[in-house]
Structure 1
Amino acid sequence: MRRSLDLTRLVLTSNGYIQHLKWVDWTKRWHIYYNLPADYCDTHSLCGAYGSCDIDDTPVCGCLEKFVARYPQQWEKGDWSEGCVRRTPLNCKKEHVFIKYSGIKLPNNKYSQYNKTMTLKGCRQVCSRNCSCTAYSSLDISNGDKGCLFWFGELIDIRKLSVRGQDIYIKMDSSERESEAGSKRNKAMILTLMSFSLLMAMILLSLIFLLHKRKKKKKLLLKEDFALQMFQLSTLTRATNNFSLNNKIGEGGFGAVYKGLLEEGQEIAVKRLSRTSMQGIDEYKNEVIYIAKLQHRNLVRLLGCCIQGDEKMLIYEYMPNRSLDSYIFDQTKKKLLDWPKRFHIINGIARGLLYLHHDSRLQIIHRDLKASNVLLDIEMNPKISDFGMAKSVSGNEMGAKTHNVVGTYGYMSPEYAVDGMFSVKSDVFSFGVLLLEIVSCKKNRGFVHQNHNLNLLGHAWKLYKEDKSLELVDEQLVDFCNISQVLRSIQVGLLCVQQHPDDRPSMFSVVQMLANESLLPKAKEPGFFIERDVFGEEKSGSQTGSSKNDVTITLLDPR
């Protein structure tokens, strides 16, 4: 009888791959990979354009031969979404060739055409004449001489198969055929030299072995493993009273969040991935990759996960006071937050972002900082949550550009919402919006004033120019607050939401400005200070009820 797998503990590596702690044979290892959502070669566009997914390799994504990563630094960090490009750029109007790739699952056929009668030779001629045609393949592998399939545009969802793979012919620059021939000549020369002397062959093999061993050792030194506790589905079912509606405390695009109570008395929050949510699968992977590696008192703590059958869940520490938006935007509960508590929350969020941007090993850009993604513990300490949209960047402060703009209207910086450019300064902008919301107990989006049509940023900027910033403060705080501290906080918020990223301070500077009484620079005009009421509502995915005032968006280029 085959023994059942023991999934009591997993190891998360720096490239986002989850491995079992024990060595198991090939069949069992395949079974583990099949059940884990951290790679899943069947995930749409997991490896991006011209990336090949191999379930038996680590990492699972690699570029096809003669292709290189489009953004190498992102690729090395396990973000393969931007895919690969040809090593030698292709101009199909010039001389080109077709390179054969064998043993693969053919790419997504959304932008493909087929012909049932044409031979492969005819396919080659047709594809060669059409500049938009990027590849062709046999339509029927059982009868390779008849019928062919053409692809137009970039190739995605390629997967390496060991047995049932097919052949595909991809259009390439003619120099690649020459380099291939040169490679063959080099191999022949090496074989000839090896035939002259067995001793030389042994030396060559020894050198190759030593170089490979050194490279592997270096790779292991760079790898950082994190043990992640695995929860049994039965344990979480009992803890949440069979995922009762009474235990449900939030919902978003990924699925629902439930409050749970473990048998030993520990309260937990269980994020349950919806089986129909593709957005949720990406968020799940991001949460595992990033949160498991982050440790800071102002970041929510990931306790473990559950992967069993079709169920995929993340387990967090439970935040009894739910999310910040449930306080500052509620006419009754906001009275519980006096100015010292609010200033404590502002400073805690700032320190959490400082850790993400400068002190963590990954340098994380959150990309969706907002009131509903700040949770409050029993002592009202703030903890940043929901890293489903987070990105890791290199030391380059400007970050990167993306075609997939994700985030929440009202908190997104202009350069990110309009051009897809995100950096640590994008988070600084979001922090500035959040700071002004905490001070005023007003939402940036949906803000209404009887004398103008500006949003909260525009209103704060107008008052600042007129030297009337105190009018922005929540009315219940005016007579019971440190006025100089409040005015200083408002000016810091306006510095953070300035139009141009270079004008905004770093989070290190923000923490310093909030902590001392040094002279602050003059704030310049903020970005997005005109209210445009063209968006709908959203549901929040944090440990709270629905937040119907922000819109989390994902703008995707058409595939």
Structure 2
Amino acid sequence: MNETAKEAAHSSRKFAVNKGNFTSSQNIYVLVQCMPDLTRENCSSCLQQTIKKLPRDKTGGILLWPSCTLRYELYPFYNETLRQAPPPPPPPPQPGNKNSYVIIIAIVVPLAVYVLLFAVLSSFYVINREEKTYETAAADDDKDDITSAGSLQFDFKAIEAATNKFSESNKLGQGGFGQVYKGTLPNGVQVAMKRLSKTSGQGEKEFKNEVVVVAKLQHRNLVKLLGFCLEREEKILVYEFVSNKSLDYFLFDSKKQSQLDWTTRYKIIGGIARGILYLHQDSRLTIIHRDLKAGNILLDADMNPKVADFGMARIFEMDQTEANTRRVVGTYGYMSPEYAMYGQFSMKSDVYSFGVLVLEIISGRKNSSLYQMDACLGNLVTYTWRLWSNGTPLELADSSFRKNYQRNEIIRCIHIALLCVQEDTEDRPTMSMIVQMLTTTSIALAAPRPPGFFFRSKHEEAGPSTNKFSLCSIDDASITMVTPR
């Protein structure tokens, strides 16, 4: 190709064809061409840029640009006589020769038509190039083919060098599927590398799913996937580096809680909601996160939230809203009742997890902790519901706020969170409704009912119960001792 490009650049026609040995039994055929009015240097530069953009995994193709074109195939697609030297140009027209004008027209008109057609086709290609790229990506999604993200692949040796061979000093933490390390690329860019455990249980299909899908997601409240490594038993994901660690690092530490005032936490709640909305509705595919929790929310230098860890994301067809699974993945305390008990998950499962997360952000407490109220222990969801029922929801607010918060904002956020953790999925709002509720205070909110996974007191158990997922009951039956014969 380089030889043919050089020949075309030095040709008066800015055109050349060539063939060479591809294998012992196959030839490769090449055709290159520039606009005739290009200089030798510009033609050569255009062709070299085109050659650099050739796909490395294809056995034929054509690249069109406004100034030059290149095609290569494993079969002869042009007339081999084109390789012969062009005929000498016609003699200049002699004065008084009537046929000279006919000759000029015969040469100029076809050339003008060719140039015009070439320009139109090139412009059409440039305009539609990105659209074709997305169509190709969609086709790759259907195949679930790792090659669709081939341009993102990192060499394992380069990753080892970036992390100083995965040294402990570069270790950022431990995730559900493996360890996370900080790395520095040769260009100085800092990244986070998630090295999946060999015993994590995550197969190649799941790994491909994460790479192919996440690499195409672009949103300010999502962690961006920069690349991957799939070499022998190593499976590594390379993400953008987010400087302020995860939300739980600040939220559940009594010394660091004060760094998150109410204004910052309110911004974090809104950012998380927009990120999940993008996954559910605004991205090209519908994605269920299935493990939304404080540890999977990263904070950048400006404390903007970025939703992370899509390793357990489930991709739906556009007309699907829910699915069943025998493999329940996620974190207890954030799981919706229907998912934890029956393996049923949907977008409303993420809504439940979001509601729990909002309560944790407001209170600075974990949902998994037990809280004493009205002579009954309960989790954070139960505790919040009792405060709401007693008309004292502001008691949930983190003491580090020291009254430096907007009272109406906190009450509204608690109200929204209680709607998110409703037992019946139909009673939970969608993420688009949640974003509207957070941004438009004029929207009226429905009255919440007792939430799912609600711990009932003895007094409440005495009355009629409609909560089929209740985890706490009082057994007033006597103990019967059975004596065998």
- TM class by shorter chain equals 0.5 to 0.7
Runs of 4+ in 1 over 6 A off after TM superposition: none
Aligned with 1:314: secondary structure? strand
Q: Distance in 2 between matches of 1:514 and 1:397?
A: 27
- Cα gap change, 1:393 to 1:384, in 2 (>3 Å): same
Check if 1:485 corresponds to 2:401: no
State the match for 1:523 in structure 2: 448
Post-superposition offset of 1:340: 0.8
Distance 1:522 1:419, change over 3 A: same
Q: Is the 8 A contact 1:399 1:422 kept in 2?
A: yes
CA distance in 2, matches of 1:316, 1:240: 13
**Could you tell me how far apart the structure 1 residues matched to 2:192 and 2:201 are?**
22
The secondary structure found in structure 2 opposite 1:223 is helix
SS in 2 for 1:284: helix
Partner Cα distance (1:512, 1:478) in 2: 28
Alpha-carbon offset, residue 478 of structure 1? 4.5
Q: Secondary structure at the match of 1:313?
A: strand
**Per-residue CA distance 1:405-443 (angstroms, 9 max, x = gap):** 111100000111111111100000000000000000011
Deviation at 1:235, TM superposition (A): 1.6
Choose from 58, 79, 84 the match for 1:23: 58
- Structure 2 counterpart of 1:515, which letter? T
CA distance in 1, matches of 2:136, 2:312: 28
Q: CA deviation at 1:351?
A: 0.1
**Structure 2 residue aligned with 1:506, among 403, 426, 430?**
430
Greater RCO, CA 8 A, separation 6+: 1
The 8 Å contact of residues 381 and 454 in structure 2, kept in 1 or not, is answered as: yes
Q: Read off the aligned partner of 2:267 and give its amino acid letter.
A: H
Does the Cα contact within 8 Å between 1:456 and 1:529 map onto a contact in 2?
no
TM-score by length of 1: 0.55
Cα distance between partner residues in 2 of 1:222 and 1:288: 14
* Residue of structure 1 in register with 2:236 after alignment: 313
Q: Shift in Å at residue 23 of structure 1?
A: 2.8
More helix by share: 2
Q: Spell out, residue by residue over 1:431-456, the C-alpha distance to the aligned partner (whole angstroms, 9 max, x if none).
A: 00000000000111123336530110
Q: 1:257 maps to which residue?
A: 180
Q: When the two structures are superposed, what TM-score results if normalisation uses the length of structure 2?
A: 0.63
Q: Aligned residue for 2:201?
A: 278
Q: C-alpha displacement at 1:517, in angstroms?
A: 1.2
Q: Kindly report the root-mean-square deviation, in angstroms, between the aligned alpha carbons of the 2 structures.
A: 2.3
Structure 1 residue 457 corresponds to structure 2 residue 373: no
2:69 alignment partner in structure 1: none
Equivalent of 1:426, from 349, 362, 374?
Answer: 349
CA distance in structure 1 between the aligned counterparts of 2:294 and 2:410, rounded to whole angstroms: 19
Q: Select which of 198, 223, 238 maps to 2:139.
A: 223
Cα deviation, 1:468-493, whole Å, max 9, x if unaligned, reads 10001101225100110111011000
Q: What 5-or-longer segments of structure 1 have no aligned partner?
A: 4-19, 26-218, 532-559
Q: Please tell me whether residue 351 in structure 1 is matched to residue 267 in structure 2.
A: no
Partner of 2:212: 289
| Stretch deviating more after TM superposition (471-480 or 436-445) | 471-480
Choose the corresponding residue for 1:466, options 390, 399, 406: 390
Q: Tell whether 2:361 aligns with 1:438.
A: yes
Q: May I ask how many residue pairs the two structures share in their alignment? A: 321
Worse-superposed segment, 514-523 or 275-284: 275-284
Distance 1:401 1:309, change over 3 A: closer
Superposed displacement of residue 365, structure 1: 0.5
Which stretch shifts more, 260-269 or 495-504? 260-269
8 A Cα contact 2:149 2:212, kept in partner: no
CA contact (8 A) 2:289 2:350 kept: yes
2:126 equivalent in structure 1: none
Q: Distance in 2 between matches of 1:429 and 1:380?
A: 24
Q: In the alignment, is the contact (CA less than 8 A) between 1:228 and 1:292 conserved in 2?
A: no
Supply the distance in 2 between the matched residues of 1:529 and 1:284 (Cα, whole angstroms).
Answer: 36
Task: List gaps (5 residues or longer) in structure 2.
Answer: 1-22, 24-54, 61-134, 141-147, 457-485
